Amino acid sequence: MTTTTAPIDRWSRGVLAHVVRCPVCDAADRALHASAVFDHLHPDGPDRWQVWRCARCASLYLDPRPDDASIGRAYDAYYTHSTHTPANGDGRELGLAWSLVHGYMNRRFDARVEPAFRIGYPILAAVEPLRLKLDYHGRHLFRALTKHLGERSVLDVGCGNGEFVVRARQLGWRGVGVDPDPAAVAACRHQGVEAHVGNVEDLPASFDGMFDMVTLRHSIEHGPAPRAQIRACHRRLRDGGVLWMAWPNPQGLGSRLFRSSWRGLEVPRHLCIPSIGAAISMLTDAGFIDVRVERRGHHARSITRESARIARLRPGWANRLRGIVGAWIGPVADVLATIGGRFGEELVVTARRGMARA
């Protein structure tokens, strides 16, 4: 049964679009998940938003949301415009720690990053939460290592300022980025990254079947049509190529505890946050096989601390309590994410492209 509440009738920076059905499964039944949510980048701004939970697939979505013509204004001061990224460095300035990390990455990802200590692989592989974090750092590129002739290639969808494309290049891959934000693409090109303005759906047909891997790190939740995005990713992959996705977990501990203060909501930029069940359904419907929910390991501290900070800015005793205890939830979330891929603050999924459907 659809729950009603007072409608939001304005956005100070543009025009609103109403979303009457779930963008993932097209169901109309829903319940209000979070209300009066503010943009954590502008907590003193005038805008407040509503986030709904789909009664059928448990995905979260924003309604109303900025329309397609004005959504870009929500990214005016976004971090993806910076031309300085951690991947710009080669690790020399950080000494031993990065030499050990490179030793792990070289063995795990068949790379040749320097400086590197080979002993880094057995040391870091023995610490499960750190091993899983490093696998995420390289976006599980080893899942797509193939024997075909030619260089390995990866397309990063929602590439931002190109940080991962630079990292993939260091690991021996040819990287290409695509992002709808022209300022982010300009930051990519400043670093010598091949990047295109638009969505993955907008790339020309010459990109079809080109890539060994397509990655979407915190990209799927920024788009209004996740099913179309996943189908377009399927087209860009070679047969047997791998799709990698990471996005906030709408059914995780943080979402349940913090509610309207959860950092993962990130209104109004996060338009739809799929549940894990909905994501698997979208992938299989698009023709992907071997869908794997990856364990995340160590990752949650910054997310839970930011959620606690947001809670302290909101009224009410429940938010005061969230602000006190929330900063300590990160280690619990890390343990859960090390045990199982569905339990962390972030979901990570890999899937392989099956044969193209007629």
Q: Report the C-alpha gap between 206 and 113 in whole angstroms.
A: 31
Report the pLDDT value the prediction gives residue 91, as an integer from 0 to 100.
46
Report the pLDDT value the prediction gives residue 252, as an integer from 0 to 100.
94
> What would the DSSP string read from start to end of 215-257?
EEES-GGGSS-HHHHHHHHHHHEEEEEEEEEEEE-TTSHHHHH
Taking the alpha carbons at both ends of the chain, their separation in whole angstroms is 37
Q: Report the C-alpha gap between 236 and 55 in whole angstroms.
A: 32
Strands 153-157 and 174-179: parallel
Q: Give domain limits for the chain.
A: 150-353
Domain 150-353 class in CATH: alpha beta
The shares of helix, strand and coil residues in the chain, as percent rounded to the nearest 5, are 40, 20, 40
Report the pLDDT value the prediction gives residue 326, as an integer from 0 to 100.
86
Q: Report the C-alpha gap between 49 and 62 in whole angstroms.
A: 7
Three-state DSSP class for residue 212: strand
Report the pLDDT value the prediction gives residue 27, as an integer from 0 to 100.
98
Report the pLDDT value the prediction gives residue 147, as an integer from 0 to 100.
60
Report the pLDDT value the prediction gives residue 106, as an integer from 0 to 100.
97
Task: Read off the amino acid at residue 105.
Answer: M
Report the pLDDT value the prediction gives residue 95, as an integer from 0 to 100.
83
Report the pLDDT value the prediction gives residue 86, as an integer from 0 to 100.
58
Q: Report the C-alpha gap between 36 and 55 in whole angstroms.
A: 21
Report the pLDDT value the prediction gives residue 336, as an integer from 0 to 100.
92
Rg of the chain's alpha carbons, rounded to an integer?
20
pTM above 0.85, yes or no: yes
Nearest to 171 by CA among 109, 101, 84: 109
Report the pLDDT value the prediction gives residue 149, as an integer from 0 to 100.
56
pLDDT tens digits in sequence order for the chain, 358 residues long: 444 455 577 899 999 999 999 999 999 999 999 999 999 999 999 999 999 999 999 999 999 999 999 999 999 888 887 776 655 444 445 689 999 999 999 999 999 999 999 999 999 999 999 999 999 999 999 999 876 556 899 999 999 999 999 999 999 999 999 999 999 999 999 999 999 999 999 999 999 999 999 999 999 999 999 999 999 999 999 999 999 999 999 999 999 999 999 999 999 999 999 999 999 999 999 999 999 999 999 999 999 999 999 999 999 999 999 999 887 889 999 999 999 999 999 999 999 997 655 4
